[in-house]
Homo-oligomer: A and B are copies of this chain.
């Protein structure tokens, strides 16, 4: 399947939802990919089921702080540099690329790589959403080595990291990323086609695209985009979404800590009932109401503009905004015991127990 400009626009909208508050603004990536399409370059999306077992997939991504991204715009060459460097290290050329993260800008980086190199793109990823750390990958959960990791900045500086665990890879790569100016390309988790089918969250590129399309079509039909979205998500392998509530942003406590944006946003319902509190580490981690845990990672928590149903990234939350809160349950591959070990509540230092949204409703 070749991607056209409308697909790309839809995908960027959907990626903002799947960014669940974080992941970096997909708009910048969209503009870069659109330029490639305008130049006649094409990106082909491949169904993971159609992937040959001996294909060689090298995922491509950016690492860094979303706040840096909007000021230090990528050159568009970083990911190619990293990819070439990793290929040289491995002594093998990639047959495909793929996102490691579907939420936010990282949905578009592999499109850029695909357009520039001609590599087809596997319609899958390793997070099924956005997460703030490199080890929070189904690739890692199901046994793919994170390293070697190749990184590059917009000036052509390159670094290669070799280490045993994904968590150590995250720590070392983050240090390099900071020295590269707070943002760098990151290419790692190379794997064969058989492995890619086993360890990734399938069909998430088309999912992002479909989310954008559903919202767009609902708007065009003067229908309620959020209701259309909830209905649509119920038909996907994510299986369930629900509107948690609607209200006004009445408080935001937010600071930058260890390179992440952390904080708490308080949203008061219009009926004067108890407010929701959402804890943030780049992404929205948990919605609580009093002592009740309404939804928690890895399930997706999205804060939407009440009028336009656009996903609001955490850095754009402001006092007084009218918002809807949307919860999306993750597919089974993302809520196995081994997956929860890596990106469940405990991995974020949260006391809450994970209870899949819509399956075991909190009391």
Chain A residues in the interface with B (C-beta under 8 A)? 85, 156-164, 168, 171-172, 174-176, 178-180
Does the CB pair A158–B159 fall under 8 Å?
no
Q: Which of A159, A168, A174 has the most CB of B within 10 A?
A: A159
Does the CB pair A159–B156 fall under 8 Å?
no
Nearest to A88 among chain B residues (CB) is B89
Interchain nearest-CB distance for A296 vs B (Å) = 30
Given A171-B179, A174-B179, the answer on whether A160 and B160 have CB atoms closer than 8 Å is: yes
Other A-B pairs, 7, CB within 8 Å; known A159-B162, A172-B180: A85-B162, A156-B163, A157-B161, A159-B176, A160-B160, A172-B179, A174-B179
Does the CB pair A160–B157 fall under 8 Å?
no
CA distance A250 to B107 in the complex (A): 62
List 9 A–B pairs whose Cβ atoms lie within 8 Å, in order of A's numbering: A156-B164, A157-B164, A157-B168, A158-B162, A158-B163, A159-B162, A160-B161, A174-B179, A175-B175
CA distance A157 to B148 in the complex (A): 11
Which 10 interchain pairs have the tightest Cβ spacing? A175-B179, A160-B160, A158-B162, A157-B163, A175-B175, A159-B161, A172-B179, A171-B179, A175-B176, A176-B176
B residues less than 8 Å from A156 (CB atoms):
163-164
B residues less than 8 Å from A180 (CB atoms):
172
CA distance A178 to B172 in the complex (A): 9
Q: Which of A85, A156, A157, A168 has the most CB of B within 10 A?
A: A157
CA distance A85 to B89 in the complex (A): 11
Nearest to A150 among chain B residues (CB) is B160
CA distance A171 to B158 in the complex (A): 13
Interchain nearest-CB distance for A178 vs B (Å) = 6
CA distance A257 to B213 in the complex (A): 52
CA distance A175 to B168 in the complex (A): 15
Interchain nearest-CB distance for A153 vs B (Å) = 9
CA distance A163 to B160 in the complex (A): 12
Nearest to A168 among chain B residues (CB) is B157
Does the CB pair A157–B179 fall under 8 Å?
no
